[in-house]
Structure 1
Amino acid sequence: METTVWTFSLSVPFEQWAAIYDSEDVTKMHESVGLKSLFRGVSKDDPTKVCAVQQAPVGAAQKLFEDNKAMIAGAGHIIESTVITAYSQS
């Protein structure tokens, strides 16, 4: 398992993005690859900046991201702003 920390910018209000991220369809998509969302929140200083933390089998979160960029961008996630940091337990 690995924990992935995502930071990125939004082109829509956080509440609008979060409603899609928390939707039943996205939850099912996450579950289909064994991904668990641990946290998602908006910056206290900048309402366009988001942090999301997920736990999944190694490589699963990043593959899901790569395979679904058009849909993710459609939710307001600015793809080019994404910074991905993955951590694993030794």
Structure 2
Amino acid sequence: METTVWTFNLSVPFSEWAKIYDSDDVTKMHASVGIKSLFRGVCKDDSTRVCAVQQAPVGVAQKIFEDNKEMIRGAGHIIESTVITAYTEQ
């Protein structure tokens, strides 16, 4: 398993982005490939900055991101601002 920490900026209010991220469609898509959302929140000092933490089989979260960039962009996620850090247990 791999834990992936995503930080990125939004072009929409956090509540609007979260409504899409938490939707049944996204939840089902994540479940179908083994992604578990552990946390998603907005920066207390910058309401345009988000952190999301997911756990999934190695490489899966990043593949879903790469394969769905236009959909993700449509939710207000500024793709170019994304910083991805992946962690695995040793």
* Structure 2: tracts of 5 or more residues without a match: none
RMSD: 0.2
The residue aligned with 2:65 is 65
**How big is the shift at 1:45?**
0.2
TM-score under structure 1 length normalisation = 1.00
Instruction: Tell me, in whole angstroms, the C-alpha distance in 2 between the residues paired with 1:80 and 1:3.
Output: 21
**How big is the shift at 1:20?**
0.2
SS at match of 1:46: coil
**How big is the shift at 1:37?**
0.1
* Structure 1: tracts of 5 or more residues without a match: none
**How big is the shift at 1:58?**
0.1
The residue aligned with 2:32 is 32
- Count, aligned residues: 90
Q: Percent identity?
A: 81
The residue aligned with 1:12 is 12
Instruction: Tell me, in whole angstroms, the C-alpha distance in 1 between the residues paired with 2:76 and 2:17.
Output: 6
TM-score under structure 2 length normalisation = 1.00
